[in-house]
Structure 1
Amino acid sequence: MEEPGFRVLLTDAGDRKMEAVRAIRTVTGLSLWNSKLLLASAPVEITAAGWLEVADGAVRVLEDASARITLLCDCCGRTIRRGAFPVNLARYMEPWSLETCWASCPPAAI
């Protein structure tokens, strides 16, 4: 059993495309030109599977720039809605299995 990763998918640039390009650049570290190309190829994966805190930070930066983002759980493949339910971060320190994925079975309120 491994800890699940969370992927960030850019689905749409939103209304403020230049801000979205800058946000992609901030999140990925790509050049301005490559960030623009990445935005033009939406829907596209912005970050590979990683920690929830990193993915959540990337989503926050991109959403602040009006980009539309989808956060996916690698464990079960489900879409995670930010703020839909409380997340027990202590739970991420233990090995997981598909049966205990919080995207499939949200944890009880803390």
Structure 2
Amino acid sequence: MEEPGFRVLLTEPGDRKTEAVRAVRTVTGLSLWNSKLLLDRAPVAATEPDWLETAQDAADVLEAAGVRAAVLCGWCDRTVPREGAPLDPAPCTGPWPPRTCRASHPPDTPTGHAPC
């Protein structure tokens, strides 16, 4: 069964505007001007659906620059916890069994990323 895509949501631009714009540019590949426009529209999706690990890495880059970011499941639109804790007891609305939903049950690794 196909896994969902995970996208990064910019929730707040933060106080370090220059660093934040550069981080958005790094994550999205947009020009500086379009990165600033995207940042000014927060809350807004910053990335297209991608693998969970890719979305978490992008959120890490943004947060290192002071931007508040969240990773959202592409099927159930729930926020994936960054600390590896379960999301909530409700099952995912996606087409797979709840115990296999990566949004509800993130990998149990020290970094929060799935092993290679």
TM over 0.5: same fold? yes
What root-mean-square deviation, in Å, do the aligned CA atoms of Structure 1 and Structure 2 show?
2.1
Please give the TM-score of this superposition, normalised by the length of structure 2: 0.76
Deviation at 1:102, TM superposition (A): 3.0
Unmatched 5+ residue regions in structure 1?
Answer: 87-95
Deviation at 1:59, TM superposition (A): 0.4
Unmatched 5+ residue regions in structure 2?
Answer: 87-94, 110-116
Higher helix share: 1
1:1-110 → structure 2 map (5 Å cutoff): 1-85=1-85, 97=96, 99=98, 100-104=100-104, 106=105, 109=108
Deviation at 1:107, TM superposition (A): 6.1
Please give the alpha-carbon distance, in whole angstroms, between the structure 2 residues aligned to 1:107 and 1:15: 30
Higher strand share: 1
| 2:91 aligned residue | none
Please give the alpha-carbon distance, in whole angstroms, between the structure 2 residues aligned to 1:78 and 1:47: 16
Identity of aligned residues (%): 61
**Alignment coverage as a number of residue pairs:** 100
Please give the TM-score of this superposition, normalised by the length of structure 1: 0.80
